[in-house]
Structure 1
Amino acid sequence: MEDSGSVIRRRVSTRKRSRRSLRETAAAGPLEPGQEQEREEEGTDGRRRRRSESLELPEYDGSEEDMFDGYDSFAENSFLAQVDVLEQKYMQSPEHGIIEKLYSKSTETREFDVIATDSDLTEVKTRDYCNSPETLRLQENVTIEPGDDLLCDVPCSQALYIEKVKDSSNDLNNPSAKESYPLSSHQTLNDIPVEQLQEKKNSSPKHTESDLNRRRSLKDRLKSAMTGNAKAQTPKFSKRKQLKEAILSEEINVAKKTLESSSDDLGPFYSLPSKVRDLFVQYKGIKKLYDWQHTCLTLTCLQQRKNLIYSLPTSGGKTLVAEILMLQELLCRQKNVLMILPYVAIVQEKISSLSNFGIELGFFVEEYAGSKGRVPPIKRRGKKSLYIATIEKGHGLVNSLIEEGRINELGLVVVDELHMIGEGSRGAILEITLAKILYTSKTTQIIGMSATLNNVEELQEFLNAEYYTSKFRPVELKEYLKINDTIYEVDIKAEKGYTFSRLLKCKYSDHLKKMDPDHLVALVTEVIPNYSCLVFCPTKKNCENVADMICKFLNKDYLKHREKEKCDFLKNLKNVSNGSLCPVLKRTVPFGIAYHHSGLTSDERKVLEEAYATGVLCLLTCTSTLAAGVNLPARRVILRAPYIATQFLKRNQYQQMIGRAGRAGIDTVGESILILQEKDKHLVLNLVNSPLENCYSHLGQEITKGIQSLLLSLIGLKIAKNLEGIYHFMCATFFGIQQKRLSEEKSLWEICRKALASLMEKGLLQKRSVCKNEEESQCELQITKLGQASLKGTLDLAYCGTLYKDLKKGLEGLVLESYLHLIYLTTPYDMVSQCRPDWMIYLRQFDHLNSGEQKVAAIVGVSESFITKKASGQAIKKDVDRNIVNRLYLSLVLFTLLKETNVWRVSEKFNMSRGYVQNLLNGAASFCSCVLHFCEELEEFWVYRALLTELTKKLSYCVKADLVPLMEITGVLESRAKQLYDAGYKTVTHLANADPEVLIRTINHLSRRQAKQIVSSAKDFLSIGGPWRRMAPQRVPQKAKSGILPPSAGG
């Protein structure tokens, strides 16, 4: 026994303990011989690990004193003896009772890290505790560090559940209780049902106040701690965790070496850890790759880090290849990745699907869409970032990296829907972005993918890329044409291009024939409700009419199919619409049918898409935007007519629509049926049998958003400094390459020269004074302050001069009585032309303004008399700028929306579709962010910076201030934010600490996948630091400078 004691003495003398560790050990109570010790211990890395192990010891007489063999550190150390005396005095003081009471609650709370599930719980106890006098007294003298755990910083439901189960904790430590309710060495209270805990609480004996307040001295605590240390061992599951982490680290190192050596041995999972493969199975249900995907991933050009373009039919699995390549770059090469997607909805969907990978594998997933996105991004040494951006935001991100000299941080750029490089101004911006990356970084790899590419050779030359293609489709696609009641199968080998398939077998009454001349009811009832169907319509109104018409002639048995789920979906749809419900959807959803177009709010579209994906809805009538948006496949796709509005379909558009037919893993075949009239027969045959259209650069056609914007940024970012350098750059663009094919090299020089002259005329560029005697091609150019502001704000150069004048005029009499004047200054110019004011509504809303707000109208140049005359139909002799009038009307829509925060009520008030109102709001938020960056570059506009920072946030979320923090989390929209807030999750930290399983039980209509996504996004948000720090204005001068000339005039 003496030997044992000496060993223990040596351990005690060499081991250091924190005061907190001693308190925790003391709270655990004395240990009996042979009893398991189970406690929480804080490691050096800040994480808790559970120590629970039974240690076989030599036999002894059962006395704790005998274990120490008379050793007393207090007797040998006079200082410790004095501490012991002070400890005894302190324990008898009144302050000790208060602090021990608070500490007891805190430790119990940390021990049971669970959340309440009862719906009738309220946050009263949490508020009482956090605001109690004892808590407030202690908090006054405590400095909280960022990493500290705070009892008050948990959801109220979690704190309430702690109150509910903490009494049961005493029973769990009771040996008799353990017999009736045994716990394994690794079981926690998270595994115990609430009901069983409550029963145990009711049946447990009550402890007296004296028992609860009984405390032992520091001397006894130290001895108990020594006993615990003697018995405790490192837990087995901790070793397993460390082993898994070691394996993951080793696999990453092996993958790095594999990639560097260009070996054929790809390691566990395409040069990635085996954990990545497990995550694809867990989160995406992908267990095995297609043969083409394996072939593509093992291409020699990828191992040599060459650029690649690959093209496959829709639903072929292109995205998975890109995701594996992105993970290789993030984990193995430790470089940042930029993924460019065409639409905000697809960005949000991709953020949602990859956030879990970021949490599990240790990289950040950052959103760049709308007003979101930090520019320039944070530079990190540890974790790398995956930037998922729209075309416009991706361009701004690349500009900031070039300006900061950090473009080489981008190891990989992935472009989805590469064919959009030939579509209008957005295509021009995409081309500019890629051209800059190619010119400024020789180490950044570019991957482009698309389902509809034709002139690939020119794109290959532009991107200096290899090309891979395959005709693989996981589900066979059969194309059909319907003329009258006959269906033909498309066959390019046939003489006519089609062959007879079948006659429609349907009995139509005269009334039904009149209402449904195209036999849509017969076509859809062949597949629904057991299979899904999409019906593409030419217009938004046609979508609603077709959905309504089909429901009128469906059998009532369709109402019984998944009736309860459809009822729940309607409640959810009404909830996300702030209590409103579209009458058409109210009639169609019980049949499993709905319409989908841009007239819906984003919340409505999101829940409709989720319901369709899960099979609650079996039929969507939609516009062509669905084909280019999120992936919603169907067993059968029907094209109501070969038109989009009044424009005949292009081959690319047709290909995208029919590509939705066939769901991998569900359907064995996919069908597309194009309904046509005899008059369109010749055009349709050309459509289905012709090759895809060529892709042409729009850099020259889109003047202000295209070539002028490019040349301004080349000078501003110092990529080129004169006309010769600009021409050299332009020759390598997609536009320059296509110009060479047309043998118009000289015209390219002329185009550049004219564009530069226009920029100098606008005051955005100017010549350096030292280049007066030099040749035109060698004369150095420099960007003006106005040009720099336009570049930073990523503005359409057609409006930068107008914006400057409007902001300058605003300084003369800025009305800050309300947000109206600021809203007018940030209303997007490009939406003004679409506005058609209702003059009676205009007059009514104008009359509701107070005197200060009416003063804003007078300042911008819109008089009440003008609106009155227009509303009464009188002739207007005086010329008025219609753009200003229309812009003020849109400003009134936004102003009303900020006050009411209800899209439905505002859309009814202004007789606009709710989707248009929401698009206006999103556009205003994005433009407000651009104006903010514009003002940050011009000292004279310093006053706008703080004002626009707050307005950007208001426009981005348009909800009550309490909900804004929650809506900053990916996947949390207004309705969901309200649910979370009402349940007690009021901060991002609450969501980051939440248990997904409890969220599912607490929040209605929340799936497990959504709950996990919200929690992981909240953690990711906190690790990034939040999106609004990037919006903080730059330094504000000590005083305003008056009388400053515009940069174009002042140089």
Structure 2
Amino acid sequence: MANNAGIWHTTTLQAAQNRPASYQTTTVVGQKRTIDKIQSTSTGGGTGKQPSHFQSASTLLKGPPSLTASAIEYTDDQPLGPSEYTQRREFASTPRSTQDPSLSLGHAIYGLPRQLVANFSRLGIKSIYPWQKHCLLGPGILSGDKNLVYSAPTGGGKSLVADILMLKQVLADRDAKAMLVLPYVALVQEKVRWLRNIVQDLSREALGQGDKDDIKTWARRPDKDTIRVVGFFGGGKVRATWHDFDIGVCTIEKANALVNTAIGDCSITKLKIVVLDELHMIDDDYRGYLMELMATKMLCLSQQVQIVGMSATLTNINLLKTWLQGHCYETRYRPIPIEEHLVYDGKIYLAETTSQLLKTATQLAGVTEPTQSQLQPTRVVKSSPHREFGDPVLNAVVALANETARSGYGALVFAGSRAGCEADALLISRVLPTLSEADPLIQEKRIDLLAELRSLSTGLDRTLEQTIPCGVGFHHAGLTIEERDLVAKGYDDGVLKVCVATCSLAAGINLPARRVILHNARMGRDLVGPSLLRQMRGRAGRKGKDEVGETYLCCQRKDLESVVDLMHADLPQISSCLISDKRRVQRAILEAIAIRLATSQETLDDYINKTMLSYSADAESIRKNVRDSLADLEAMDFIAVDEFSNYQPTRLGKAIVASAFDPEDGVFIHNELKMALQGFVMDGDMHVLYNFTPVYDLGGTTINWRVFWNEMEQLDESGLRVMKFLGLKPTVMNRMLHGATLKETTPEEKDIARRYQRFYLALQLRDICNEVPIHRVALKYGSPRGAVQTLAQTCEGFAAGMIKFCEHMGWGAMGAALDHFTDRLKAGARSDLLELAKITFVKSRTARIFWDNGFKTVAAVANADPRELVPVLMQAQPTKVRLETRDEEKYAEKLLAKAKVIADSANRIWQVQMQQELDDE
């Protein structure tokens, strides 16, 4: 662009700071402050500038001004002496394999190879629980002849049952494929690492060579005798195909697309087992219906595909059993028992069972007549002299976390918002020992963790810089993925004793704790649901580390009645999401017709009868919904009816299914691309970037119209033409700037609002592609760093769908342009750096500094001594760091280790390039 769009415009930032109010195009309840505002408030600054990080180790050792946590004491009728919490307690252990030989994984009944049993043992799993044995030995389960639905509490060992069943199938047949479906990217990545450890050194050499059609596939793979585990998720541009993995670990969307492709090309015959984890999400209003569609397709196949569904929060499991025509199993067993508590007005009430906890909460709320013996608290949190702890709920949260950490255990605190996370983490860190008081080994590890965080492209977060020396971290979506991973690892390794997280962490990642503390049990303004409450509590207790888990629900008076209702509430009954939205039925029908699973009225009826919808609604309403959906699909030109009354997918219908779009989104995308092809603006970046910005809602896109206006004023002629082409008017933006709102009552108004949203997000993508660091983009647009990173990754996945759409529609040039910008977005760089950006750790700013220092090719990096790369990496750090001599040496060691990884990565890429050159000669 003429004005160099990659530059961070000071004028925009100043204008945004002068007018911080933003106006949104959709209603968002409980709007949160930006992370930058939170940090400036927490640290006493308000400039919005990036931290300088001129902080030496002596400053870290000193830490922020200390506070004293309130003491937690027993009530008068309790025995004197140390708290029972500080003493290890004995519980009856699970029967061992010496008592019951069939609890050993090596028992002949399970038929697992010795190497697999050894791998499990190496990872700490030497035997199974009795419930796992009974579940695995259910009728037809181990043989794969019967489907299975089972429910067990969080931490009860659900995953091991599914792992054994998948590995049994894959080890029985060289051609066999298994698929594990998980709801979140973080869980997919974690599970891929786990399964790769499980299958290490396993060989299938004795299974023969497979069928003739597959010999070439195996010959193409040098690891043909190993079990290959591959992760599929939206943010990655995974090149692996159905033939290149044995166990595919997928997000819901990727799994559904993979199944569609496999049915379409007939490779589905190799699929032997599908595991649906977190099966309760099948009635999730946004994504759950895709799980239902996947399972329905499996039930429609002529071959046997074992479907295994599991969850910790299933209620009407018999409905799922009937639908999937399988075996069901339920258990409430937990290897680590949980003690539950209610904390109110500084008093801690113990409940051995949930019913007692409910009774206590009911009496506190005045619902029933109180009795002195039942209401007597076991312990009391003393009031605090510090004004920071004037709120009794906050005072209890800090005191409980302090007690846990000082006793040597891990505490997981759930807060209702990102701002709450950081505020709680700061206050908890101020009552814990400073870095100088910590064990020397822990000191070293915490300084190492700070160095790793500092070496990230975003630099060291100001709040983490204050909390980590005291052993406290926080984890929320406002942090980048790299920051969240480092914090989670630090907590899991015991470097951090307290992790404060948003409620969504309970479902998104596996971080168990000795003590789980719920700060008001809210997510934003709303009380959490019973399923999420159970998942949060389920994080208490670490197998192999703790003998007991503890949960503390800290609530205030105004919430008591709501808390009582929440605790009394049963888990929601699962039902089909297809019943609530006709568009989902349209997608279900379109997918079945596009992949030729249903082509006639008879086969379509059979398909619909195998959905969970057929067990959740009356037959007549389903028939009417199907008739209306078929008419709508035909009107939208997605399907056609031939002379034999059979259904055929149109080119557009196939393109929408191949790209995994919803039909409604597909209509909008098709219209946008058709319009673009008539007058595509090729002399700039904005039109391409706009076209691979997602069309669906990204969590309620909030537009800062002041920033938008300033960016518009700095657009070059090409960018302004794109705006005009899309119908985005400066006059409308000016009205929005002065407090107006975009109307979204008609379909046309909704489309216009969607275009403003997409263009605003495309401006952020433009900056990323032009090497503006993520933290700068976040600061410029007033968004959390993690939100900007999520936007970039979501766009990568969406662009992959757009490319497929263009290919199926015969728009190859458009697809090639989108593909190029996907690479640029992933690299965060301009075109000249794309080759360098393939190297591990070399992205965006780092790639540019490598280029500027003469390392302009992969070969140049591959042939460099890693020590030569350390000064370059030092230049690439986002801030200048003044460290003492000892810490400077440690920092250099970290960078040297990073340089070695970079050099190794470059060598591997270079070798592949040289081999390709030889093959081409």
Do these two structures clear the TM 0.5 threshold for a shared fold by scoring above it?
yes
Match of 1:53 in 2: none
> Partners in 2 of 1:328 and 1:832 — Cα distance?
40
- Residue 375 of structure 1: how far off its partner (Å): 8.5
Does 2:135 align with 1:296? Answer: yes
Does 2:425 align with 1:547? Answer: yes
Larger Rg: 1
Q: Could you say if the C-alpha distance between residues 448 and 964 of structure 1 is closer, same or farther in structure 2, counting changes exceeding 3 Å?
A: farther
Does 2:399 align with 1:526? Answer: no
Partner-residue secondary structure (3-state), 2:309? strand
Deviations 1:713-745 (CA, angstroms, capped at 9, x unpaired): 111122212334322221221111122xxxx21
Match of 2:349 in 1: 488
- Residue 376 of structure 1: how far off its partner (Å): 8.8
C-alpha contact 1:538 1:640 (8 A) present in aligned 2: yes
- Residue 686 of structure 1: how far off its partner (Å): 4.1
Equivalent in 782, 790, 808 of residue 648 of structure 2: 782
> Partners in 2 of 1:1002 and 1:513 — Cα distance?
37
User: Which one-letter code corresponds to 2:426 in the other structure?
Assistant: D
C-alpha contact 2:152 2:331 (8 A) present in aligned 1: yes
- Residue 511 of structure 1: how far off its partner (Å): 1.8
C-alpha contact 2:275 2:309 (8 A) present in aligned 1: yes
Match of 2:253 in 1: 392
Equivalent in 518, 521, 535 of residue 639 of structure 1: 518
Match of 1:331 in 2: 171
Q: Could you say if the C-alpha distance between residues 363 and 301 of structure 1 is closer, same or farther in structure 2, counting changes exceeding 3 Å?
A: same
C-alpha contact 1:352 1:970 (8 A) present in aligned 2: no
C-alpha contact 1:764 1:786 (8 A) present in aligned 2: yes
> Partners in 2 of 1:1007 and 1:516 — Cα distance?
48
Does 2:818 align with 1:948? Answer: yes
Match of 1:229 in 2: none
Partner-residue secondary structure (3-state), 2:231? strand
Match of 1:574 in 2: 454
C-alpha contact 2:299 2:324 (8 A) present in aligned 1: yes
C-alpha contact 2:393 2:555 (8 A) present in aligned 1: no
Does 2:777 align with 1:906? Answer: yes
> Partners in 1 of 2:143 and 2:906 — Cα distance?
34
User: Which one-letter code corresponds to 2:117 in the other structure?
Assistant: R
User: Which one-letter code corresponds to 2:527 in the other structure?
Assistant: F
Match of 1:471 in 2: 332
Does 2:577 align with 1:737? Answer: no
Deviations 1:241-263 (CA, angstroms, capped at 9, x unpaired): xxxxxxxxxxxxxxxxxxxxxxx
Equivalent in 367, 384, 406 of residue 508 of structure 1: 384
- Residue 300 of structure 1: how far off its partner (Å): 3.8
Match of 1:750 in 2: 624
Q: Could you say if the C-alpha distance between residues 1006 and 737 of structure 1 is closer, same or farther in structure 2, counting changes exceeding 3 Å?
A: farther
Partner-residue secondary structure (3-state), 1:798? helix
Match of 1:230 in 2: none
- Residue 895 of structure 1: how far off its partner (Å): 0.7
Equivalent in 230, 234, 248 of residue 366 of structure 1: 230
Match of 1:855 in 2: 721
- Residue 891 of structure 1: how far off its partner (Å): 0.8
- Residue 684 of structure 1: how far off its partner (Å): 2.4
- Residue 299 of structure 1: how far off its partner (Å): 3.5
C-alpha contact 2:771 2:830 (8 A) present in aligned 1: no
Q: Could you say if the C-alpha distance between residues 441 and 947 of structure 1 is closer, same or farther in structure 2, counting changes exceeding 3 Å?
A: farther
Q: How does 1:564-603 map to 2 (within 5 A)?
A: 564-578=444-458, 580-603=459-482
- Residue 550 of structure 1: how far off its partner (Å): 2.6
> Partners in 1 of 2:502 and 2:649 — Cα distance?
44
Equivalent in 345, 360, 377 of residue 241 of structure 2: 377
> Partners in 2 of 1:890 and 1:288 — Cα distance?
51
Does 2:294 align with 1:433? Answer: yes
Partner-residue secondary structure (3-state), 2:178? strand
User: Which one-letter code corresponds to 1:748 in the other structure?
Assistant: I
Match of 2:683 in 1: 817
C-alpha contact 2:346 2:392 (8 A) present in aligned 1: no
Task: Give the unaligned 5+ runs of structure 1.
Answer: 1-263, 772-778, 1027-1051
- Residue 950 of structure 1: how far off its partner (Å): 1.7
Does 2:599 align with 1:721? Answer: yes
C-alpha contact 1:989 1:1022 (8 A) present in aligned 2: no
Match of 1:90 in 2: none
Does 2:711 align with 1:845? Answer: yes
> Partners in 1 of 2:906 and 2:169 — Cα distance?
22
User: Which one-letter code corresponds to 2:189 in the other structure?
Assistant: Q
Match of 1:663 in 2: 542
Match of 1:605 in 2: 484
> Partners in 1 of 2:829 and 2:355 — Cα distance?
58
Does 2:371 align with 1:497? Answer: no
C-alpha contact 2:181 2:275 (8 A) present in aligned 1: yes
Comparing 443-452 with 678-687, which one deviates more in the overlay? 678-687
Match of 1:537 in 2: 415
Match of 1:623 in 2: 502
Comparing 323-332 with 681-690, which one deviates more in the overlay? 681-690
Q: Could you say if the C-alpha distance between residues 1002 and 340 of structure 1 is closer, same or farther in structure 2, counting changes exceeding 3 Å?
A: farther
Does 2:159 align with 1:319? Answer: yes
Q: Could you say if the C-alpha distance between residues 723 and 373 of structure 1 is closer, same or farther in structure 2, counting changes exceeding 3 Å?
A: farther
- Residue 584 of structure 1: how far off its partner (Å): 1.7
Higher relative contact order by CA 8 Å / sep ≥ 6: 1 or 2? 2
- Residue 875 of structure 1: how far off its partner (Å): 11
> Partners in 2 of 1:1011 and 1:696 — Cα distance?
53
> Partners in 1 of 2:391 and 2:728 — Cα distance?
48
> Partners in 2 of 1:790 and 1:307 — Cα distance?
31
- Residue 272 of structure 1: how far off its partner (Å): 2.5
- Residue 819 of structure 1: how far off its partner (Å): 2.4
- Residue 507 of structure 1: how far off its partner (Å): 5.0
Match of 1:922 in 2: 793
C-alpha contact 1:376 1:400 (8 A) present in aligned 2: no
- Residue 865 of structure 1: how far off its partner (Å): 4.9
Equivalent in 802, 823, 840 of residue 931 of structure 1: 802
C-alpha contact 1:337 1:410 (8 A) present in aligned 2: yes
C-alpha contact 2:119 2:199 (8 A) present in aligned 1: no
Normalising by structure 2, what TM-score?
0.73
Q: Could you say if the C-alpha distance between residues 376 and 367 of structure 1 is closer, same or farther in structure 2, counting changes exceeding 3 Å?
A: closer
Comparing 514-523 with 389-398, which one deviates more in the overlay? 514-523
> Partners in 1 of 2:802 and 2:614 — Cα distance?
32
Match of 2:581 in 1: 702
Deviations 1:394-413 (CA, angstroms, capped at 9, x unpaired): 00000001001121210111
Q: Could you say if the C-alpha distance between residues 1004 and 293 of structure 1 is closer, same or farther in structure 2, counting changes exceeding 3 Å?
A: farther
C-alpha contact 2:473 2:499 (8 A) present in aligned 1: yes
Does 2:146 align with 1:285? Answer: no
C-alpha contact 2:393 2:556 (8 A) present in aligned 1: no
Deviations 1:440-476 (CA, angstroms, capped at 9, x unpaired): 1432111111111110011011111111222221211
User: Which one-letter code corresponds to 1:958 in the other structure?
Assistant: G
> Partners in 1 of 2:742 and 2:106 — Cα distance?
75
Deviations 1:959-985 (CA, angstroms, capped at 9, x unpaired): 577986798799999899999999999
> Partners in 2 of 1:293 and 1:979 — Cα distance?
54
> Partners in 1 of 2:107 and 2:843 — Cα distance?
41
Q: Could you say if the C-alpha distance between residues 372 and 551 of structure 1 is closer, same or farther in structure 2, counting changes exceeding 3 Å?
A: closer
Match of 2:22 in 1: none
Task: Give the unaligned 5+ runs of structure 2.
Answer: 1-103, 203-225, 361-373, 871-889, 916-921
Partner-residue secondary structure (3-state), 1:598? coil
C-alpha contact 1:566 1:589 (8 A) present in aligned 2: yes
Q: Could you say if the C-alpha distance between residues 513 and 828 of structure 1 is closer, same or farther in structure 2, counting changes exceeding 3 Å?
A: same
Paired-residue identity, %: 29
> Partners in 1 of 2:606 and 2:259 — Cα distance?
20
Q: Could you say if the C-alpha distance between residues 524 and 814 of structure 1 is closer, same or farther in structure 2, counting changes exceeding 3 Å?
A: same
> Partners in 1 of 2:694 and 2:662 — Cα distance?
11
Match of 2:315 in 1: 454
C-alpha contact 2:277 2:311 (8 A) present in aligned 1: yes
